Structure 1
Amino acid sequence: MKKLVAAALLVLPFSLQAATLSTGPNIELLVIDGKKVDSSFWSQTESVDLAPGKHQVVVRFDGELKSGSKSKMYTTRPYLFELNVPDENATIVLPLLTSLTQAKSHFERGPEWQLELESGAMRTLEYVELQGKGFAAFSNMEKLVADYNRQHGITFEQGYAVDLEKATVEVSEQGEVTISGDALAQLKLWYSKADAEEKAAFYQWAKAQDAQ
């Protein structure tokens, strides 16, 4: 039976009815809206309840596949989606992959991630393949995603993913860049990109400004 992440994992607006987001065979939920999904080797979390709206979901393919007369485990890098969750149950799916050769070929040419809605409709999902550094690059998924979000100006407000770069920067068809958004949105963008040392320096600067 598919297990649900504890309600404390995600804060859902009471005015919105949650829908269940599930994963297809051999697809592992890793991080949702910046928070690690609690799973174990013996008890994988395969579905979560999410309020309709924009969420950030990170998954990977992790399954045992045929390799000649034997079977081998095959695990991909993490894939990140900026996902508009509908107000109906939905499942993240891939084409059926049964052999190691087939799976490697599929991911090398670019996987076909899709969202299958309860109504039967299918949506193609755009994704980012996360790149780690070093031997233990993917040992801390939450940190990996946090680093990505900081670099790209993504934060979370009231339980939803907010791309601050898109909210504060406009690029015309001619490639001209214009700063948009109010001062608060721009402050949020730069704060989301700062590291711990830079945030501490900003706190001190803000205190000094308030004291004047």
Structure 2
Amino acid sequence: MKLTVLVPALAGLLWAGSALADSQLEITNPYVIQLLDGEPVNPQLLDKATVFPLSAGKHQVVVAFEGNYSNRSETKLVTAEPLVINFTAADNQHLILDYKKPRKAEEARNFIKDQKVALKDETSGKVLESEQFIMPTVGGFQLTRDYQQELLKMGKAFNQPATVAVSSAAVMAAASAPVGVAPSKAQSNPEALTQLQSWYNKADAETRKAFQIWVIQQQ
């Protein structure tokens, strides 16, 4: 009987210890979370302050600045391209974006030029090391954007698939390889041609298109 009671009690203690080891990521306005570890988050479902659980290890968060500085007489919305932050979380951390929050539209316009933020652990007061970059502007009208697909094409997605990484490497290798010229000016190189064909076959459609454009530009 004692053993029957003891087993659930130990299980509860282990679960509680595991829960206490989890970390949290808090994102507050005017930043809105878009992706967490490659998974999209619907902004319409988010509150002004949203907390997400994190396990210890590597993570990637994509946030977008969406500042609303409107008043009764004028609408003032300030937005920016999404900011991507790669970081490694430890146990028992409460992570927040640390920056000087713009109070006016003019301050916000100046802020989004660089989007200088730090990822800070409120528990310890320490700033985490992180890799940050702003996603490039997409031309044309975009009703919605697939940030994960954009990151995959850039080769910077969370847990980037090996096949995409190989394709990117193929483009770089092909770009640095000697360009074949007419037989009258130089001898052909069968080994180099075979290697180029191999790289080309391994590349995806977008990479092949980029390579074709590059070849045409060299002519």
- Does the alignment reach a TM-score above 0.5? yes
Rate the CA distance shift 1:123–1:112 in 2: closer, same or farther, 3 A: farther
User: Residue 58 of structure 2 contacts residue 87 of structure 2 at CA under 8 Å; is this kept in 1?
Assistant: yes
Bigger-Rg structure (1/2): 2
The equivalent of 2:81 in structure 1 is: 77
User: Residue 38 of structure 1 contacts residue 45 of structure 1 at CA under 8 Å; is this kept in 2?
Assistant: no
Deviation at 1:124, TM superposition (A): 6.3
1:195 to 185, 204, 207: 204
Cα RMSD after superposing both structures: 3.7
User: Residue 62 of structure 2 contacts residue 82 of structure 2 at CA under 8 Å; is this kept in 1?
Assistant: yes
Q: TM-score, normalised by structure 2?
A: 0.55
- Cα distance in 1 between the residues matched to 2:63 and 2:101: 17
- Residues 1:101 and 2:106 aligned together: yes
User: Residue 80 of structure 1 contacts residue 130 of structure 1 at CA under 8 Å; is this kept in 2?
Assistant: yes
Rate the CA distance shift 1:121–1:156 in 2: closer, same or farther, 3 A: same
User: Residue 67 of structure 1 contacts residue 100 of structure 1 at CA under 8 Å; is this kept in 2?
Assistant: no
- Cα distance in 2 between the residues matched to 1:44 and 1:38: 13
Rate the CA distance shift 1:139–1:67 in 2: closer, same or farther, 3 A: same
User: Residue 67 of structure 2 contacts residue 108 of structure 2 at CA under 8 Å; is this kept in 1?
Assistant: no
- Cα distance in 2 between the residues matched to 1:156 and 1:15: 28
Rate the CA distance shift 1:75–1:146 in 2: closer, same or farther, 3 A: same
The runs of 5 or more residues in structure 1 that have no matched partner are 1-13, 158-163, 169-189, 199-212
Equivalent residue of 1:122, what SS? coil
Letter in structure 1 aligned against 2:126: A
The equivalent of 2:43 in structure 1 is: 39
Deviation at 1:81, TM superposition (A): 1.1
- Cα distance in 2 between the residues matched to 1:153 and 1:145: 5
Rate the CA distance shift 1:94–1:60 in 2: closer, same or farther, 3 A: farther
Higher strand share: 1
Letter in structure 2 aligned against 1:195: D
1:111 to 105, 109, 115: 115
1:144 to 140, 144, 150: 150
Deviation at 1:75, TM superposition (A): 1.4
How many residues are paired up?
A: 151
